[in-house]
Structure 1
Amino acid sequence: MVPYAEYTAHKRVWWKEATFYQIYPASFKDSNGDGWGDIPGVLSKIPYIASLGVDAVWLSPMFDSPQIDMGYDISNYEAVYPPYGTVADVENLIEACHKNDMKFILDLVVNHTSDQHDWFKESRSSKNNPKRDWYFWKPARYDDHGNRMPPTNWRSYFAGGTWTWDEHTEEYYLHLYDETQPDLNWENDDCRRAIYSSAMQFWLDRGIDGFRVDTVNKYSKVVQFPDAPVTDPTSDVQPAAQFWCNGPRIHEFIKEMHTEVLSKYRTYDGQPVVTVGELSLTPEPQGVLNYVSAAAKELNMIFQFDITHLGQGPPGCGSKYDFTDWKLPEMKRIVEKWQTFIDGTDGWTTVFNENHDNGRSISRFGNDRPEWREKSAMMLALCFAAQTGTWFLYQGQEIGMVNAPMEWSIEEYKDVESKNYWREAVAVSEEGADPTRKERIAQGLQLMARDHSRLPFQWNTDSNGGFSSGKPWMRAHDLYTEINAETQEKDGGSVLSFYKRMLRLRKEHSDVFIYGTFELLDAENVSTFVYRKNFQDKTALVAANFTTSPQPLPPTDGMELLVSSYSKTTPSTLQPFEGRIYIDY
């Protein structure tokens, strides 16, 4: 690997300058009235997507699945969940994106499968099956009283334990997520080859331009399977990420994936295909650089989740949805850390504040009250659009969609993680071990649950926001008549229009916005977020007010105002939730 210090400028590659638009297929557009979004529905909205000015589409899992975890529990990598459509529909979508000069990537979900996948059905059929070792199977332990116990005390990402007893073969199987999502054993060579063929090459051969790689740093486990230390005395299961995250063979596995598969494919216009990994629980820059250094030939970039985890407890533990109030300097330090970690390296970074696994950014980082939500949306758009790295937008972000109303019952929430955390909280509270957990987790879910991002897209003022003519799989937001794409497309001052403007400006000033170095100013200010971007002789100053009160504008030293999130600016003062960018050429 080339020493990081030898790099002084980042090589320009298509995916660095691209803005990606993530589509969650269940909630985007239903074409046939069955309540589920589908691929034909996405196809019908290609003109809208292209009009945004994005460069690539990321389609979340549409593979065949029992949908316990909304498609992240795959039963067949080479088939499409029938309510979504067919493989031919996806091929048509790939072609439509390419015709509109947009790349197209899919999710790669290969830490685990569904328990309904043929591979797992064979694996659990007998201890002697050739695919038995494609998953992790272990015999029971027994306590001093002869009671059966799981092989380890590890806690699942979705609450509860990571081991489920199989009566047929009388062994436990491992699942870091839901019990219906058994973990694949990457230690097995035949298993890895099957993954490469079925989950990757099948779709690359059909013209996709790369992958968002799910749970990418969890493939390698500590296979001695030790118990985790007890850090939660109230629970029989304990956080154990040190035994299944960034494991001993993880870089070997990802290098092999790149060498044997990804390096042999090109995009529709002859460029290298792209990978962006979901890299959780990796807090140190050097740990991330080990994955994204160009010389390492592993991943092109990763999602590091400090920004979306603001206010959350650590993932994989009982306190994930225990909300902790945070102050703006915490966000600024996170942004600074992941903006600057690529300086002088051959690595790359990403910019995002929404995805399918988090609450909406306006509700979390701005203010979703009626008088402030549009101003918050535009301020956040401006604040993030000028940051270095590849920008990822999530469906509905561009129209300012917000969290589900606080008045909604928890019973409206559909996500398996939300349900599991809620069930656990109720049990712990009622048992008296932690009497207030039920109330705390309810409040945390109302702000941070994955369900908020999965509400149906709000297209117009028709019933269900124009998402479906039938009953949606998940309730449409009550505000769809006020927040929707059709209304905003007709309004030059809308959130949608402002996002389009910021996308244009990001392209026009790609040198300083995308490739410029980041310099945080006034780090401890609790009201405004101010930073400079520098590229050769060009400088941009970004100032964003995160409060409902006017705040002093930092000195601009004769710089030219490029854009404000307000139509009219006030000298020396940032108005509530106003963002501005100044340029000095």
Structure 2
Amino acid sequence: MQKAWWKEAVVYQIYPRSFMDSNGDGIGDLQGIIKKLDYIKNLGITVIWVSPIYKSPNKDNGYDISDYQDIMDEFGTMEDFDELLKEIHQRGMKLVMDLVVNHTSDQHKWFLESRKSKDNKYRDYYIWKDPVDGHEPTNWGSYFSGSAWQFDETTGQYYLHQFVPEQPDLNWDNPVVRKEVFDMMTWWCEKGIDGFRMDVISLISKPEEYKDGPVKEGEKYSFCGAVTANGPHEHEYLQEMNQKVLSRYNLLTVGETSCVTLEEAKKYARSDGKELSMVFQFEHMDVDSDEHGKWTDKKLYLPDLKEVLNRWQKGLEEVAWNSLYWNNHDQPRVVSRWGNDSGEYRELSAKMLATCLHMMQGTPYVYQGEELGMTNMHFSDVSECDDIEEKNIYIDLVTDTKVYTHDQMMDIISKKGRDNARTPMQWDDSENAGFTTGTPWFAVNPNYKTINAAAQVEDPDSIYNYYRKLIELRKEEEVIVYGTFDGLEDADENLYIYTRSSENKKILVICNFTEKELDVPASIADMVKENRGILIGNYKDISEKIRPYEAVVYLTK
């Protein structure tokens, strides 16, 4: 298998608004990140991915960009950014920037011009369509509910926005738009950044024809992503991007690819290097969804999770490369979702989930606070929420359709909402978890008194130090990075078991996703009995049974 630095990397994602506030205004900033670089370096991290820090009106927490070559006021200045990049590089780490080029803010100079008139030279930078029978051009619904079209009085046309109305989609079919984007990317690469995480990059190529999509019974709109993802010119545009920008630098590139299939992923992240290093797929994030999407309290059925992850592990082997993640800024905290965030089992289950993920083939991503076992937070009223998606779904499923009661919906938002990932980072047990000396922009999880970095960094048995060991193991054991993957006992509803193998080494990974004590399956009993040592485990001693939330990695040859 072809080796690459980004295959051997471990990435730490920072959501700047919630990471560390250096000036007491209640909002995390670039100087705050600089203050905590040694903490990240100590964890063993090799790459930092920073969520958008560009100039933005913040209609969608920085994913609506009004100037790609300036910094959001709350986060600091371009001088602060230059200092951050220098400090990261001085510590031997790399920096990946978020690239949001499916859409801009409606306050971007291109859109302000575009909406002025039909013959404005920027008009074709965006997607404008005439009304059809006095209504939207198609029945497409946005990712955040409601129509994906916004009527503009000035010219009597609609523009496409797959997210909030203040995020108009760029027209990638216009070569001038592509050149503008590529020039901007080159500008950042020349500054010395080390890669891009590409937001919803699978949506940039729109269909040749704009026509209605299928609608679920009882719903008004057809989900736009099902119609626009992996469009007809998607790979052509990414290959052009690669040729004109990416191939000129030694970068890590990862695409957020909504609705991607395994076969499509092989095109995006294929080993010939013509497009991207890897993609984020979402199939494993959907295994506990139902007819209401993620807005359900459906429990995880472990064989479903194994089926998805094992298929991606085997499917991309020798062909492309996997990204590995449980958490990010759009997902609830995994220890609350698929572990057990009660006092007794929180640490064990957090370590188990980390082991399960980090022993797989691919590049692991750690989201801020995951290394501490930070948990979901309970929201009792939608007024406590910040996320536009949560507010819209409350209207949809409580106010309008009455699918759920208020209490049911708030319980589901507390389990699945994006705000769970956006509560401030828990640094210590002082006021506001040490995140800010001011009033935090968003509520701090009350459990910060017991779950915080200060309590864990010096504790050799902490979740933080367990992550350190996992990350160190990846650097020491090539089999963890490049070895082949084979799932075992796929139908088992309690245990996730797999092996990683290279020419001269083999490891066996056993993870118990329950609080039950279990017998070692007969199929692996000999491997366990004849093991050559334990590489890592989340219990201090050895047992003949598999204990609650136990994770153990055996060296078997």
TM-score in terms of structure 2 length: 0.96
Contact map agreement 1:139 1:151 (CA 8 A) in 2: yes
1:223 shift after superposition: 3.7
Determine the structure 1 residue equivalent to 2:232: 248
SS in 2 for 1:551: coil
1:236-279 C-alpha deviation (Å, 9 max, x unpaired): 212243421100010110000010111122xxxxxx21201101
Superposition deviation, residue 195 in structure 1? 1.2
Unmatched 5+ residue regions in structure 1? 1-9, 143-147, 266-271
* SS at 1:172 equivalent: strand
Please give the alpha-carbon distance, in whole angstroms, between the structure 2 residues aligned to 1:310 and 1:242. Answer: 18
Structure 2 vs 1, CA of residues 354 and 547 (structure 1 numbering), >3 Å: closer, same or farther? same
Superposed, 1:157-176 pairs within 5 Å as: 157-176=143-162
**Deviations 1:183-207 (CA, angstroms, capped at 9, x unpaired):** 0000111111111122x12211111
The reply to whether residue 197 of structure 1 matches residue 183 of structure 2 is yes
Is the alpha carbon distance of 1:437 and 1:109 closer, same or farther for their aligned partners in structure 2, counting shifts above 3 Å? farther
In structure 1, C-alpha distance between the alignment counterparts of 2:517 and 2:193, rounded to whole Å: 47
Which structure 2 residues correspond to residues 483-522 of structure 1 after superposition, within 5 A?
483-509=451-477, 511-522=478-489
Which deviates more from structure 2 when the two are superposed, residues 292-301 or residues 61-70? 292-301
**8 Å contact from structure 1 (residues 225, 243) kept in 2:** no
Indicate if the aligned counterparts of 2:380 and 2:407 stay in contact, CA closer than 8 A: no
**1:121 equivalenced with 2:112 (yes/no):** yes
Equivalent of 1:282, from 239, 247, 260? Answer: 260
Structure 1 letter corresponding to 2:51 = S
Q: Does 1:366 align with 2:339?
A: yes
Q: Which residue of 1 aligns with 2:204?
A: 219
Deviation, structure 1 residue 21: 0.4
1:568-579 matches, within 5 Å, as 568-570=541-543, 572-579=544-551
Instruction: State the secondary structure of the residue aligned to 1:149.
Output: coil
Q: Which amino acid aligns with 2:228?
A: W
Shift of 1:231: 2.1
State whether residues 428 and 437 of structure 1, in contact with CA within 8 Å, keep that contact through their aligned partners in structure 2. Answer: no
Taking structure 1 as reference, are residues 97 and 222 closer, same or farther at Cα in structure 2, changes over 3 Å only? same
Q: Secondary structure of 2:446's match?
A: coil
CA shift at 1:478, angstroms? 0.5
Q: How does 1:551-566 map to 2 (within 5 A)?
A: 551-554=518-521, 555=525, 556-559=528-531, 560-566=533-539
Code of the aligned partner of 2:468: K
Return the letter of the residue paired with 1:310: V
Distance 1:296 1:501, change over 3 A: closer
Q: AA paired with 2:141?
A: R
Structure 1 partner of 2:270: 293
Distance, in Å, in 2 between the alignment partners of 1:246 and 1:371 is 44
Query: Do structure 1's residue 27 and structure 2's residue 18 form an aligned pair?
Result: yes
Asked whether the equivalents of residues 161 and 167 of structure 2 are also in contact (C-alpha less than 8 Å), the reply is yes
Task: Find the aligned partners of 2:390 and 2:457 in 1 and give their Cα distance.
Answer: 34
Mapping of 1:224-239 within 5 angstroms?
Answer: 224-232=209-217, 234-239=218-223
Identical aligned residues as a percent: 39
TM-fit CA distance, 1:427: 3.0
**C-alpha separation between the residues in 2 aligned to 1:259 and 1:168?**
39
1:403-461 deviations in whole A, cap 9, x for unaligned? 013x54332210111111112223323xxxx5437665433322111110111000001
- Distance change (3 Å), C-alpha of 1:566 and 1:412: same
1:7 alignment counterpart? none
Q: 1:476 to 1:369 in 2, by over 3 A?
A: same
Instruction: Summarize the alignment of residues 41-80 of structure 1 with structure 2, pairs less than 5 Å apart.
Output: 41-80=32-71
Q: Deviations over 1:470-521 (max 9, x none)?
A: 1111100010010000011121111111111111112111x21111111111
Offset of 1:309 from its aligned partner? Answer: 2.4
Structure 2 distance, partners of 1:12, 1:319, is 38
Change (3 A) 1:441 1:282: farther
Task: Work out whether 1:259 is the aligned partner of 2:267.
Answer: no
> Aligned runs of 1:107-506 on 2, under 5 Å?
107-142=98-133, 148-198=134-184, 200-232=185-217, 234-265=218-249, 272-283=250-261, 285-295=262-272, 297-313=274-290, 319-345=293-319, 347-405=320-378, 408-429=380-401, 434-436=402-404, 441-506=409-474
- Cα drift, residue 13 of structure 1: 0.5
Letter in 1 for 2:188: W
Deviations 1:324-365 (A, max 9, x none): 3331111111110111112242x1111111111000010111
Query: What is the aligned length?
Result: 551
- Per-residue deviation, 1:161: 0.6
What SS is found at the alignment partner of 1:341?
helix
| Residue 541 of structure 1: aligned partner | 508
Check the 8 A contact 1:313/1:323 in 2, yes or no: no
| 8 Å Cα contact 1:113-1:184 kept in structure 2 | yes
**Cα displacement string for residues 12-45 of structure 1 (whole angstroms, at most 9, x for unaligned residues):** 1000000000000000000001010000000011
Q: Distance in 1 between matches of 2:200 and 2:436?
A: 31
Q: Give the 3 Å change call, closer, same or farther, for CA 573–175 of structure 1 in structure 2.
A: same
Aligned 8 A contact 2:99 2:199 in 1: yes
- The amino acid across from 2:332 in the alignment is G
Alpha-carbon distance in structure 1 between the residues aligned to 2:11 and 2:377: 25
Residue aligned with 1:226, SS: coil
Cross-structure match for 1:6? none
Q: Secondary structure of 1:580's match? A: strand
- Whether the aligned pair in 2 keeps the contact of 1:541 and 1:583 (CA below 8 Å) is yes
Distance in structure 2 (CA, Å) of the matches to 1:336 and 1:477: 34
Partner letter of residue 176 of structure 2? Answer: D
Give the whole-Å Cα distance in 2 for the aligned partners of 1:41 and 1:89.
10
The CA RMSD measured in Å over matched residues stands at 1.5
Residue 498 of structure 2 aligns with which residue? Answer: 531
Q: Helix, strand or coil: the match of 2:104? A: coil
TM-score by length of 1: 0.92
